[in-house]
Amino acid sequence: MSRTIIPFGPQHPVLPEPLHLKLVVEDETVVEAVPALGYVHRGLETLASIRDYNQMVYIVERVCGICSCIHAMCYCQGLETMMNVEVPSRAKYLRVIWSELHRIHSHLLWLGLFADGFGFESLFMQFWKIRERVMDINEATAGNRVVISVNVVGGVRRDLDKTQQRWILEELDKLEKELRQLMKTMLDDYTVKKRTVGVGVLTAEQAIQLGAVGPTLRGSGVAQDARQLGYAAFDELDFEPVTSPEGDSWARSKVRFMETLQSMDIVRQAISRLPDTELAAKVPGKPTGEVVCRVEQPRGELLYYLKGNGSKNMERVRIRTPTFANIPPLLAMLPGAQLADVPIAALTIDPCISCTER
């Protein structure tokens, strides 16, 4: 049987990101997938040698806008560890609130794009309608819808008053009710299941061996979540990693759907336990030494390696985003799939190539 090489991406009607794969197919069946990386160049890491360490907070937020708050939090936590800065408790809880709001709107964006990927336009609009309300919360509390710039080295720059806290809780109750109404359509609809169940299967063993992270890993039944490390205020909140054992496209969509509901509960917990302390601590001196910091992004574990030399500029800022970790698992999912199922399977890792390549 003859083989054909078909380019998939970097531009594709289904893809929100410039993912580029070379697919080796026999008839309509994929037998091999080869990644072609290097499409995006922005030089964000190099800017660390030009901008001072405080300015870099705003630059790392631009690595990925959808999870910008979590990038800034990871960077700030790394510097705080390096410089022995004790972050006030209220700031830790506020970081949890805004980072989980980012997780909610990131997952809702993905759920909409996933529905659009198999032609379910009405479901796509429903998810994005709910997401707009989450963006309104970001804008009302932090001044912007996506890149909110609340994190600073030592804490946060903004606070939530009692009126804002009550409003957020009221909005989350409404949003959860609307989201739960979509659960049956997203997880039990015949058409959705025909396009997702048994598609892009990644076993737990493969997920572990290939270094999968986030919903891609938990969708194969592995209960691993960087928030369990207890950074920020997560060690004082109650939650367990959301998992699904099937390892297919349906399982990964289920994990993201249920994580959205879980994040709403985490925000409620954080608001109910919000302590009354300062928002930021004083930061002495300049960063010296090196540190690795890990947090859980919507797509999975995010890792920052930071190296300071005692000057105002970082000597090195090295970032490993979750999409980078999830590309090898994606290549293992695709062989055996039909060509028409490749966009669906590729979307299930929630690829962000612009943050992977920077």
According to DSSP H, which parts of 182-211 are helical? 183-188, 190-196, 204-209
CB 98 within 8 A of CB 155: no
Q: What is the pLDDT of residue 334?
A: 96
Tell me which residue range forms the domain holding 47. Answer: 3-357
> How far, CA to CA in Å, does 198 sit from each of 171, 208, 249, 255?
36, 19, 7, 15
Q: State the pairing for strand pair 21-26/29-35.
A: antiparallel
Q: What is the pLDDT of residue 5?
A: 93
Structural domain count of the chain: 1
Question: Taking the chain (358 residues) in consecutive chunks of 10 residues, what is each chunk's mean pLDDT?
Answer: 86 81 94 88 86 95 93 98 97 98 97 91 96 97 95 98 98 98 94 93 97 98 97 97 97 98 98 96 94 98 96 95 96 95 94 85
> How far, CA to CA in Å, does 358 sit from each of 40, 276, 353?
6, 38, 8
* CATH of residue 150: 1.10.645.10
Q: What is the pLDDT of residue 12?
A: 79
Reduced to 3 states, what is the DSSP secondary structure of residue 64?
coil
Q: What is the pLDDT of residue 1?
A: 65
d(CA 147, CA 357): 19
d(CA 214, CA 237): 19
